[in-house]
A and B are shown apart, each in its own frame.
Chain A
Amino acid sequence: EAQVTQNPRYLITVTGKKLTVTCSQNMNHEYMSWYRQDPGLGLRQIYYSMNVEVTDKGDVPEGYKVSRKEKRNFPLILESPSPNQTSLYFCASSLGQGSGTGELFFGEGSRLTVL
């Protein structure tokens, strides 16, 4: 089954404790992206990757890091989480980026609470 898998789905942590949210897709997609969803703000892009070893900042990259060492994986790293990073996070992937490159597939989401 074609899917984007995120882990963990739920996490409560404390300020400053490094954490990683993993994301894996099994569709051989080149493009992967991370979003955060907050009430009233919709989906805001954090980082995206056009291909292996190619990453770019989205609209809200501060406080986050990513890496793309393999095509299927795109982990999101919070080096020193703060309470304003409490949010619902989505990983997504597609064949490419831009208008001609097909549907964006989303994971089920990771709800992160930073105390």
Chain B
Amino acid sequence: GENVEQHPSTLSVQEGDSAVIKCTYSDSASNYFPWYKQELGKGPQLIIDIRSNVGEKKDQRIAVTLNKTAKHFSLHITETQPEDSAVYFCATSGNTPLVFGKGTRLSVIA
């Protein structure tokens, strides 16, 4: 089945700096790549997603890039703020249920 590797597992950045989280996947049939943010004590929430016919997507300070040839995709957060501190999960699916990465704990230091 699908295998999703997510790196790094923890990431600390200074407020205002950028953060990048990377994921690789194994199933070439995967065509949907969402990112979820989990704040303390809450369930994960979708923040951005991309489909395989698109190479990059932006939404204000967050962006996702996809390289289907290399089977990897990344989340980019610019001008980080303390409220960006959370656990972030990447995920993939094709015609099968979403498979999640193990998560990245992002800490934004003021």
Docked-complex contact B32 and A99, CB < 8 angstroms: yes
Q: In the complex, what distance in Å separates the CA atom of A14 from the CA atom of B109? A: 40
Looking at the assembled complex, report how far the CB atom of B6 sits from the nearest CB atom of chain A, in whole angstroms. Answer: 8
A interface residues, Cβ below 8 angstroms from B: 4, 33, 35, 40-45, 48, 58-59, 90, 92, 97-100, 103-104, 106-109
Docked-complex contact B46 and A98, CB < 8 angstroms: no
B interface residues, Cβ below 8 angstroms from A: 1, 6, 9, 31-32, 34, 36, 41-46, 49, 51, 89, 93-103
Docked-complex contact A98 and B102, CB < 8 angstroms: no
Docked-complex contact B100 and A99, CB < 8 angstroms: no
**Chain A interface secondary structure, helix, strand, loop or mixed?**
loop
Docked-complex contact B44 and A98, CB < 8 angstroms: no
- Closest chain B residue, CB of each to CB of A9: B41
- Closest chain A residue, CB of each to CB of B94: A99
The one of B42, B97, B103 that contacts A97, using a Cβ cutoff of 8 Å? B97
List A contacts of B6 (CB < 8 A): 42
Docked-complex contact A42 and B89, CB < 8 angstroms: yes
- Closest chain A residue, CB of each to CB of B45: A106
Docked-complex contact A99 and B43, CB < 8 angstroms: no
List B contacts of A45 (CB < 8 A): 97-99
The one of A40, A42, A98 that contacts B94, using a Cβ cutoff of 8 Å? A98
Docked-complex contact A104 and B103, CB < 8 angstroms: no
The one of B9, B51, B99 that contacts A99, using a Cβ cutoff of 8 Å? B51
Looking at the assembled complex, report how far the CB atom of A45 sits from the nearest CB atom of chain B, in whole angstroms. Answer: 6
Q: In the complex, what distance in Å separates the CA atom of A36 from the CA atom of B41? A: 14
Docked-complex contact A99 and B102, CB < 8 angstroms: no
Instruction: Supply 5 A–B pairs (Cβ within 8 Å), ascending by A.
Output: A35-B100, A40-B102, A45-B97, A59-B1, A106-B44
Docked-complex contact A109 and B102, CB < 8 angstroms: no
Docked-complex contact B97 and A107, CB < 8 angstroms: no
Contacts A98-B32, A99-B31, A107-B43 known; A43 to B97 CB distance under 8 Å? no
List A contacts of B97 (CB < 8 A): 33, 45, 48, 58, 97-98
Looking at the assembled complex, report how far the CB atom of B40 sits from the nearest CB atom of chain A, in whole angstroms. Answer: 11
